[in-house]
Amino acid sequence: MMEVNAAALDYKPIKINNAGALKVWRARVLKSNCAECYGLCCVGLHFAASEGFPLDKAPGKACPHLQADFRCGVHETLSERGYKGCIGFDCLGAGQRVSRVTFPEGSWKRLPGSSKLMFEAFVVMRHLYELLWYLSEALERCQGKRLKRDLTALLVEVDGLTFLTPEALVGIDVNALRLRSNVMLTEVGEQVRGVYGNGKAAPAALRKRLGRYADFAGASLRGLDLSGANFRGAVLIAADLSGSVLAGAELIGADLRDARLHGADLREALYLTQAQVNSAKGDLETKLPDGLERPVHWR
Ligand code: SF4
């Protein structure tokens, strides 16, 4: 059994001196690294048999494909085997953080008495990392001193929580943090969409349908200028966005499973995550924002 080298940990509280420092911090901290994790998502999470995962798996029970070195034994064939949910999942770095920092003494195999707490801490850490992802992007893109100050304060506060003990981590009121974050994320979303025209370049019939939780499942949005469009929480499952421009389009919580992003320009899209990208389809012509990677299955 391979254990993670806890002595190699290098996590320090965030310091935001300038925009460059924030970008470096995002690239270093908010990036999953399965090689430094105890396979926490493959053990700790609950999966019900579904389109994205073919088995029922109870929380705390290791997936049968998890190897002794905590790597996935079917990584190259996940899609063919019906594990699309695994392709779409991304912990943003929460897994290695819990493995390396929260539990430096060892894995759930080495510490069976702590495994339940480890998995619960991972779930909370995943939520905190998601907030860190959105808050740090909002800080990079917001305008106005008051908003910058408030976002900085909340980002530092949430980052500080990630250093808590496991017992303290599982006691965090994540919903309260989400509510506080959402106020600022919404304001930044309105700012950014406004800069990019609030979707005004889209066809009139489509503009009427834009907005929070809009349903575009299977819709053809091919080759459109969707700059500044509001896709907050939108259903974009299997939508065709090939060749579209999504500069300043807000995608927080949008469901992009099997959406076609071939040749689309998402470089300036707002609140896009690696998990959303992983769950969509694209190609070498798809333009992604800095910090997001082209999934292997797109190549
Ligand atoms: S199939 Fe692979 S990635 Fe998915 S839960 Fe099992 S071990 Fe993890």
Pocket test for ligand 1, best of 37, 40, 65 (most atoms within 8 A of CB): 65
82 pLDDT above the threshold of 70: yes
How far apart CA 133 and CA 144 sit, in angstroms, is: 20
The residues, ordered by sequence, that sit 6+ positions from 190 with a Cβ below 8 Å of its Cβ are none
Mean pLDDT of the region 239-264 = 98
* 211: confidence class by pLDDT, cuts 50, 70, 90: confident
Domain boundaries, the chain: 6-193, 197-299
**CB–CB of 257/278 below 8 Å?**
no
How far apart CA 112 and CA 93 sit, in angstroms, is: 23
Q: Which two tokens stand for residue 261?
A: 């992003």
Reported as a single tens digit per residue, the pLDDT across 95-147 is 999 999 999 999 999 999 999 999 999 999 999 999 999 999 999 999 999 99
Q: How many CB atoms lie within 10 A of CB 165?
A: 11
pLDDT at 299: 76
How much is the pTM?
0.94
38 pLDDT above the threshold of 60: yes
3 pLDDT above the threshold of 80: no
Ligand 1 atom nearest residue 78's Cα: 1
Q: Is the CB of 158 under 6 A from ligand 1?
A: no
245 pLDDT above the threshold of 70: yes
Q: Is the CB of 72 under 6 A from ligand 1?
A: yes
Q: Which two tokens stand for residue 177?
A: 């943090």
Handedness of CA 248, 144, 93, 234 (dihedral sign): negative
CATH 2.160.20.80 fits 197-299, yes or no: yes
Q: Is the CB of 42 under 6 A from ligand 1?
A: yes
Reported as a single tens digit per residue, the pLDDT across 153-198 is 999 999 999 999 999 999 999 999 999 999 999 999 999 999 999 9
Q: Which two tokens stand for residue 52?
A: 């994205």
* 15: confidence class by pLDDT, cuts 50, 70, 90: confident
7 pLDDT above the threshold of 50: no
Q: Is the CB of 34 under 6 A from ligand 1?
A: no
Q: Is the CB of 264 under 6 A from ligand 1?
A: no
How far apart CA 166 and CA 129 sit, in angstroms, is: 15
Nearest CA to ligand 1 atom 4: 86
Residue that has been written with the tokens 């259903």 in this structure: 235
**CB–CB of 138/19 below 8 Å?**
no
pLDDT at 9: 53
* 213: confidence class by pLDDT, cuts 50, 70, 90: confident
Q: Is the CB of 139 under 6 A from ligand 1?
A: no
Ligand 1 atom nearest residue 66's Cα: 7
